[in-house]
Amino acid sequence: MSVRCQESPVLAGSATLAVLGALVLCLAEPAGYGKYTESRMPVATRLSARAAWFLQELPSFAVPAGILAGQPRSLFGQPATVLLGLFCAHYFHRTFVYSLLTRGRPFPVVFLFRGFVFCMGNGLLQGYYLVYCAEYPAEWYTDIRFSLGVFLFILGMGINIHSDYILRQLRKPGEIIYRIPQGGLFTYVSGANFLGEIIEWIGYALATWSLPALAFAFFSLCFLGLRAFHHHRFYLKMFEDYPKSRKALIPVIF
């Protein structure tokens, strides 16, 4: 039985992402994990960073990958499924590579649950739209939006992965101390890893030319941009010798 596109859930899901992004900016508080974890929070309410990141990110890979796996093989060459494959590639890395390498602090279960629900919903929204609703012309692969979008996605993913590598090298296993990140885009901004992921999702929105992807890119900009701002402020307070020319998220500008 074929699945027909239902526009109402797509619009509702996209609107929810946009509203969540706006709320993040209005609250202006960093999510309480990593360096912002409440020290008084009971140890029993936390998971190791590796387990938490794996469980949180898994739905963003498993849900759209499951949707893709259920499609006839002949569809895998179509733009919609190729684009969804990019989405899956990002979350494959986040789930099976980043989570196993991270050296972050123990993760509050409450934030894990919120992240799990978000990743489940967003994975379903992006996968459902691209497979059952999106319609692309045969020449979409040569469209400038697709070409530029995929380029930005790959560029952003490369920046994100390289920046995460730099951050991991700042600590030895078991350490919880903070050092000033150096190299790569950290030369110019405090949130180089966040900037990379924001570029990814802007590229994804451009390549898919879809409302759900645009809403997710907006949410990512709000959530990660705010986190970069708080990271920058944290570094300035902690290190007297922190580079004064370094910005929070956008080189030279912000």
HEC string for 192-235: HHHHHHHHHHHHHHHHHCCHHHHHHHHHHHHHHHHHHHHHHHHH
Q: pLDDT tens digits, residue range 26-73?
A: 998 877 666 666 554 555 588 999 999 999 999 999 999 999 888 776
When computed from its CA atoms, the radius of gyration of the chain, rounded to whole angstroms, is 19
The answer to whether 201 and 17 have CB atoms below 8 angstroms apart is no
The answer to whether 228 and 194 have CB atoms below 8 angstroms apart is yes
The string over 64-97, giving b where at least 16 C-beta atoms fall within 10 Å of a residue's C-beta and e elsewhere, is: bbebbeeeeeeeeebbbbbbbebbbebbbbbbee
Can you give the pTM of this predicted structure?
Answer: 0.92
Last residue of a domain, one of 80, 109, 136: 136
Residue 25 reports pLDDT greater than 70: yes
**153 in the same domain as 85:** no
**176 in the same domain as 82:** no
**114 in the same domain as 173:** no
Task: Please measure the distance between the N-terminal and C-terminal CA atoms of the chain and give it in whole angstroms.
Answer: 51
Which residue, among 218, 220, 249, has the nearest Cα to 233 in the 3D structure?
A: 249
Last residue of a domain, one of 136, 155, 173: 136
| Residue 6, domain member (yes or no) | no
Last residue of a domain, one of 79, 108, 136: 136
| Residue 11, domain member (yes or no) | no
CA of residue 140 relative to chain centroid, distance: 25
- DSSP secondary structure letter of residue 189: B
- Torsion of Cα atoms, 171 then 173 then 176 then 181, to 10°: 10
Question: Which residue range(s) make up the domain with 131?
Answer: 31-136
CA of residue 209 relative to chain centroid, distance: 18
**189 in the same domain as 151:** yes
**121 in the same domain as 42:** yes
The string over 49-59, giving b where at least 16 C-beta atoms fall within 10 Å of a residue's C-beta and e elsewhere, is: bbebbbbbbbb
User: How much is the pLDDT for 117?
Assistant: 97
DSSP 121-142: HHHHHHHHIIIII----GGGGG
- Split at pLDDT 50, 70, 90, the class of 106 is confident
What is the token pair recorded at 150? 């995929």
Average pLDDT of every residue of the chain? 92
Q: What is the mean pLDDT of residues 234-254?
A: 95
CA separation for the pair 136, 70 (Å, rounded): 20
Residue 195 reports pLDDT greater than 80: yes
Residue 121 reports pLDDT greater than 90: yes
**151 in the same domain as 86:** no
**191 in the same domain as 107:** no
**249 in the same domain as 153:** yes
The string over 203-242, giving b where at least 16 C-beta atoms fall within 10 Å of a residue's C-beta and e elsewhere, is: bbbbbbbbbbbbbbbbbbbbbbbbbbbbbbebbeeeeeee
Question: Which residue carries 């459902």 as its tokens?
Answer: 128
- Our count of domains for the chain comes to 2
| Residue 17, domain member (yes or no) | no
| Residue 233, domain member (yes or no) | yes
**144 in the same domain as 131:** no
Which residue, among 159, 111, 133, has the nearest Cα to 213 in the 3D structure?
A: 133
**146 in the same domain as 86:** no
Q: pLDDT tens digits, residue range 150-186?
A: 999 999 999 999 999 999 999 887 777 889 999 999 9
